[in-house]
């Protein structure tokens, strides 16, 4: 089943009571203390021109008009022959700011503190394969929401309100996927280094034997 990317998820949240841009904790993280699309140019988010804001807001409206969840995800993922300039502008802006705001790192820190980092799960449960995020992410969603959104996003029971839970889980899922990719790259680099070290050792050993024989 397709899931939201970060930039798609943020649009989905935007059409749920203006989240997360309305919450103090998120404002403090991003430095965006006004609306995402303010009327005054001086209040526009960092990196936005008025033209950017107009085109991105138009893209938001077209996204929201899609009839189903899957249609929204497909609409957000298009990139070839794109006739909607706001789509690429929003995607590029979010990707840049996501790193600047260190959202991936913050989610990773919460997973680690909660003993739910996938590498920790593999080690403790002695799993031979990468743990499925769908199994563990629901256990940490409230802690991540508190770190990113603050208690303003919680309901009267002290949990992340129901309308935000699924999309927040999908944000965490993106981090889960990124951790998996990083782990695979690190493992590949380690194997390359081990192979190079073995080749170097064998070559040196063979050369030494040849000298002794000579």
Q: Which residue pairs, CB below 8 angstroms and at least 24 apart, start in 39-48?
A: 46/97, 47/93, 47/96, 47/97, 48/93
Q: For the segment 70-127, what is each residue's pLDDT rounded down to a tens digit?
A: 999 999 998 877 789 999 999 999 999 999 999 999 999 999 999 999 999 988 877 7
Distance between CA atoms of residues 135 and 115, nearest Å: 14
Tell me if 138 sits within 8 A of 169, measured CB to CB.
yes
Tell me if 37 sits within 8 A of 57, measured CB to CB.
yes
Task: Label residue 187 by pLDDT band (50, 70, 90).
Answer: low
- Tokens 């959202």 sit at which residue? 103
Count CB atoms within 10 A of the CB of residue 114.
15
**pTM: predicted TM-score of the whole model, two decimal places:** 0.84
Count CB atoms within 10 A of the CB of residue 41.
10
Please state the rounded mean pLDDT for residues 146-166. 97
Contacts of 160 (CB under 8 A, 6+ apart): 141, 142, 145, 149, 153, 154, 168
């Amino acid at each position: 089943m397709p899931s939201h990317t970060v930039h798609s998820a943020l649009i989905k949240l935007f059409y749920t009571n203006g989240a997360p841009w309305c919450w103090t904790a998120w404002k403090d993280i991003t430095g965006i203390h006004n609306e995402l699309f303010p009327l005054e140019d001086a209040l526009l988010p960092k990196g936005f021109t008025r033209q950017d804001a107009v085109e991105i807001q138009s893209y938001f409206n077209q996204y929201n008009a899609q009839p189903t969840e899957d249609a929204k995800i497909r609409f957000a993922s298009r990139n070839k022959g794109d006739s909607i300039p706001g789509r690429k502008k929003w995607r590029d802006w979010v990707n840049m700011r996501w790193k600047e705001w260190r959202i991936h790192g913050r989610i990773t820190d919460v997973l680690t503190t909660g003993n739910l980092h996938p590498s920790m799960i593999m080690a403790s449960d002695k799993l031979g394969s990468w743990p499925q995020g769908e199994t563990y992410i629901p256990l940490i969603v409230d802690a991540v929401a508190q770190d990113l959104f603050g208690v303003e996003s919680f309901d009267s029971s002290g949990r992340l309100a129901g309308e935000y839970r699924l999309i927040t889980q999908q944000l965490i899922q993106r981090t889960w996927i990124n951790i998996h990719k990083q782990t695979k790259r690190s493992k590949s680099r380690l194997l390359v280094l081990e192979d190079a070290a073995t080749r170097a050792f064998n070559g040196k050993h063979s050369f030494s034997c040849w000298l002794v024989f000579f």
